[in-house]
Copies of this chain bind each other. A is one copy, B any other.
């Protein structure tokens, strides 16, 4: 997706498409790597002169509040971010620490009987060992 498309997407979502916001969203959309703030910082610091980590926190919090980004809490001490807000699950590998998406349909998720509850977010996480790391262990 090009910067222009990102800009109009942000605008449509009620977010002023400032330069750094566009760059950060662009990073999330193109990399699709469920990054931590540190990962974003170390990748974008080369590209954006004088970028601050606080800015990344600010922008991501804005994105999450505006609903254009999901905050993933898979492992206790880190938040990962995902610009794909469609229904899908996440698998985290214990060995390589990578997070990958898997498709699930909204209607396939079990609907518990929670009368009178308002449900805003669904999170379905799996943890284990990915096929790549499993093969390495075998060998």
Binding site for B on A (CB under 8 A): 71, 73-76, 78-79, 89, 91, 94, 102-105, 108-110, 112-131, 134-135
| A–B complex contacts, Cβ < 8 Å, 9 sampled | A91-B117, A91-B119, A102-B112, A104-B112, A109-B110, A115-B131, A120-B127, A121-B126, A122-B125
Q: What is the bound-complex CA distance between A121 and B125, given in angstroms?
A: 8
Nearest-CB distance from A72 to chain B (Å)? 9
Q: A117-B128, A121-B128 are in contact. Are A103 and B112 (CB under 8 A)?
A: yes
By the criterion CB–CB under 8 Å, are A125 and B128 in contact? no
Report how many copies the assembly holds.
2
Q: What is the bound-complex CA distance between A89 and B125, given in angstroms?
A: 11
Q: Which residue of B79, B89, B114, B129 is within 8 Å of A91 (Cβ)? A: B114
